[in-house]
């Protein structure tokens, strides 16, 4: 389904930030005490931060974890505004949170990953925001479902939210992985392709889940032309009441931001002509790849006919193992990773299997 979003450019959002990249949102995972919130905010106000974040209502995986201080924290955020001049943001997960946040003049809202999976909850928040002019960010749903993410953005846009952005915070997977939430970069890239004007921030804290990964993820996001970062910063991270492993001190935050290399978008003329030549080469090889796939598929179809005539099953497991192993070995000798080769061949093989299954089950009418 093709849709468009009616979006207001960031320059008109009323944030301190204008043209430069990245837009920076920083602050603790959770508001814990008034002192913790104000200490973090005063430190961050000295830096290039556009919006101060703190979670008031915390969606936690298990009960008996700290579930946020609740509405009292909104007063602390009002104090942050008054004392530091920073704009403030918090997460809302239902209509009640939304009304409370609006009542306390919170400047920016975000919808968390556990809420954006639920169209009922998102619609309820959207309805509460009807006619309100406030920036809203939608985190990706915890499962890798781009349509669901887009659906949540559309629900907000339909009630008139045009200061709208997305936050890429990674996707859940089962078992131990290097990341707390797998980045699946191809999903935000596809979101960007579909909605080039949509602001997309990256949340390295929730993707990485640990401090040591924050820089690498943030730099990658910048190199992929994300518009900004939302990073969890706490005055005493080890003692944080939630997400302690991934939070950093204001000093570490400053160092991270200073170390980022913000590369150009390559608008200069000489960049264009050199890239043009290289891209022509890529186009040429892409065309050859498609033609080779077509030729290969024709042979797979012939094999399908043969299997049909001889009443053979489609999946010949030994043959498939042989193809996969020899392709991976050849790929490795040419510097291609086994992951890449195996992914491509599994996709090609699956398509052949589907087509051959159609052939052997074909009925003549
Ligand atoms: C958060 O930003 O603290 C948070 C709860 O994030 P997410 O919804 O991405 O888990
Ligand atoms: Mn958090």
Mean pLDDT of the chain: 95
Task: Compute, in angstroms, the gap from residue 65 CA to the centroid of ligand 2.
Answer: 13
Rounded distance between C-alpha atoms, residue 141 and residue 124, angstroms = 16
Task: Tell me whether residue 5 is in a domain.
Answer: no
Residues above pLDDT 90, as percent of the chain: 88
Residue identifier of the C-alpha nearest atom 2 of ligand 1: 29
Same domain, 240 and 277: no
Instruction: Write out the residue range of the structural domain in which residue 146 sits.
Output: 10-259
**pLDDT at position 270, please?**
80
**Apex 25 CA angle, 215 and 261, nearest 5:** 35
For tokens 């659906």, name the residue. 151
Q: Is the dihedral of CA 316, 321, 324, 325 positive or negative?
A: negative
Run of H or E residues at 324 = helix 317-333
Residue identifier of the C-alpha nearest atom 3 of ligand 1: 29
Same domain, 148 and 211: yes
Strands (E), 107-194: 108-111, 136-139, 164-168
> Is any atom of ligand 1 closer than 6 Å to the C-beta of 112?
yes
Residues above pLDDT 70, as percent of the chain: 98
Same domain, 217 and 353: no
* Residue 61 burial (CB count, 10 A): 6
Task: Compute, in angstroms, the gap from residue 112 CA to the centroid of ligand 1.
Answer: 5
Same domain, 246 and 298: no
Rounded distance between C-alpha atoms, residue 137 and residue 206, angstroms = 15
Pick the residue with more confidence: 177 or 114?
114
Rounded distance between C-alpha atoms, residue 231 and residue 337, angstroms = 32
> Mean pLDDT throughout 84-105?
98
Residue identifier of the C-alpha nearest atom 1 of ligand 1: 29
- CATH number for the domain harbouring residue 273: 1.20.59.10
288 is written with which tokens?
Answer: 């050859």
Q: Of all atoms in ligand 1, which is nearest to the CA of residue 169?
A: 9
Pick the residue with more confidence: 110 or 16?
110
pLDDT tens digits, residue range 298-334? 999 999 999 999 999 998 889 999 999 999 999 999 9
Q: Of all atoms in ligand 1, which is nearest to the CA of residue 30?
A: 3
Q: Of all atoms in ligand 1, which is nearest to the CA of residue 170?
A: 9
> Is any atom of ligand 1 closer than 6 Å to the C-beta of 55?
yes
* Residue 343 burial (CB count, 10 A): 11
Local confidence band at 351 (pLDDT 50, 70, 90 cut-offs):
very high
Burial bucket for residue 291 (CB in 10 Å: 0-12, 13-18, 19+): exposed
Task: Compute, in angstroms, the gap from residue 169 CA to the centroid of ligand 2.
Answer: 10
Domain end call among 259, 288, 304: 259
> Is any atom of ligand 1 closer than 6 Å to the C-beta of 139?
yes
CB contact at 8 A, 218 and 21:
no
SS3 196: coil
Domain end call among 240, 259, 278: 259
Task: Tell me whether residue 3 is in a domain.
Answer: no
Rounded distance between C-alpha atoms, residue 164 and residue 120, angstroms = 19
- CATH number for the domain harbouring residue 64: 3.20.20.70
pLDDT tens digits, residue range 32-50? 999 999 999 999 999 989 9
Run of H or E residues at 27 = strand 23-27
Same domain, 214 and 320: no
> Mean pLDDT throughout 337-360?
95
Q: Report the number of distinct structural domains present in the chain.
A: 2
Nearest ligand by distance to the CA of 242: 2
Same domain, 246 and 273: no
Task: Tell me whether residue 4 is in a domain.
Answer: no
Same domain, 24 and 164: yes
Same domain, 197 and 61: yes
**pLDDT at position 12, please?**
93
Rounded distance between C-alpha atoms, residue 311 and residue 309, angstroms = 6
Q: Phi and psi at residue 87, in whole multiples of 5°?
A: -75, 150
pLDDT tens digits, residue range 189-241? 999 999 999 999 999 999 999 999 999 999 999 999 999 999 999 999 999 99
CB contact at 8 A, 352 and 300:
yes
| CA distance from start to end of the chain | 34
Q: Of all atoms in ligand 1, which is nearest to the CA of residue 230?
A: 2
Same domain, 191 and 312: no
Local confidence band at 268 (pLDDT 50, 70, 90 cut-offs):
confident
Local confidence band at 94 (pLDDT 50, 70, 90 cut-offs):
very high
Task: Give the contacts of 178 (CB within 8 A, at least 6 positions apart).
Answer: 213
Same domain, 206 and 83: yes
**pLDDT at position 264, please?**
84
Q: Is the dihedral of CA 265, 266, 272, 275 positive or negative?
A: negative
Domain end call among 259, 283, 309: 259
CB contact at 8 A, 356 and 304:
yes
Same domain, 237 and 337: no
**pLDDT at position 48, please?**
85
> Mean pLDDT throughout 20-29?
92
List beta partners, residue 27.
Answer: 232
Whether the predicted pLDDT of 73 surpasses 90? yes
CB contact at 8 A, 50 and 17:
yes
pLDDT tens digits, residue range 271-302? 888 889 999 999 999 999 999 999 999 999 99
Burial bucket for residue 92 (CB in 10 Å: 0-12, 13-18, 19+): buried
Same domain, 236 and 310: no
124 is written with which tokens?
Answer: 């309820």
Q: Phi and psi at residue 30, in whole multiples of 5°?
A: -125, 145
> Is any atom of ligand 1 closer than 6 Å to the C-beta of 233?
no
Whether the predicted pLDDT of 19 surpasses 70? no
């Amino acid at each position: 389904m093709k849709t468009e979003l009616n979006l207001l450019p960031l320059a008109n959002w009323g944030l301190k930030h204008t043209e430069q990249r990245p837009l920076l949102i920083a602050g603790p995972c959770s508001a814990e005490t008034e002192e913790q919130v104000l200490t973090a905010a005063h430190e961050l106000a000295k830096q290039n931060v556009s919006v101060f974040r703190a979670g008031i209502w915390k969606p936690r995986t298990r009960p008996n974890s700290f579930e946020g201080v609740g509405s009292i924290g909104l007063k602390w955020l009002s104090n942050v505004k008054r004392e530091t001049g920073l704009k403030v943001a918090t997460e809302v997960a239902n209509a009640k949170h939304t009304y409370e946040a609006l009542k306390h003049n919170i400047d920016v809202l975000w919808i968390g990953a556990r809420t954006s999976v639920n169209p009922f909850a998102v619609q309820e928040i959207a309805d509460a925001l009807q006619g309100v002019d406030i920036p809203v960010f939608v985190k990706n749903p915890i499962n890798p479902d781009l349509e669901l993410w887009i659906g949540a953005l559309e629900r907000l846009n339909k009630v008139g939210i045009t200061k709208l952005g997305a936050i890429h915070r990674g996707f859940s997977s089962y078992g131990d992985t290097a990341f707390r939430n797998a980045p699946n970069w191809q999903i935000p890239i596809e979101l960007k392709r579909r909605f080039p004007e949509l602001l997309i921030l990256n949340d390295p804290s929730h993707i990485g889940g640990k401090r040591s990964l924050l820089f690498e993820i943030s730099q990658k996001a910048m190199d992929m032309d994300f518009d900004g970062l939302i990073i969890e910063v706490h005055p005493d991270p080890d003692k944080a009441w939630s997400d302690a492993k991934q939070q950093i001190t204001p000093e570490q935050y400053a160092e991270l931001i200073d170390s980022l290399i913000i590369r150009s978008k390559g608008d200069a003329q000489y960049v264009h002509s050199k890239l043009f030549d290289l891209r022509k080469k890529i186009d040429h090889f892409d065309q050859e790849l498609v033609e080779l796939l077509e030729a290969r598929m024709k042979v797979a179809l012939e094999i399908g006919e043969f299997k049909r005539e001889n009443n053979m099953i489609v999946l010949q497991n030994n043959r498939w193992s042989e193809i996969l192993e020899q392709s991976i070995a050849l790929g490795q000798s040419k510097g291609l990773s086994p992951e890449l080769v195996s992914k491509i061949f599994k996709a090609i093989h699956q398509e052949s299997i589907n087509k051959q299954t159609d052939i052997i089950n074909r009925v003549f009418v």
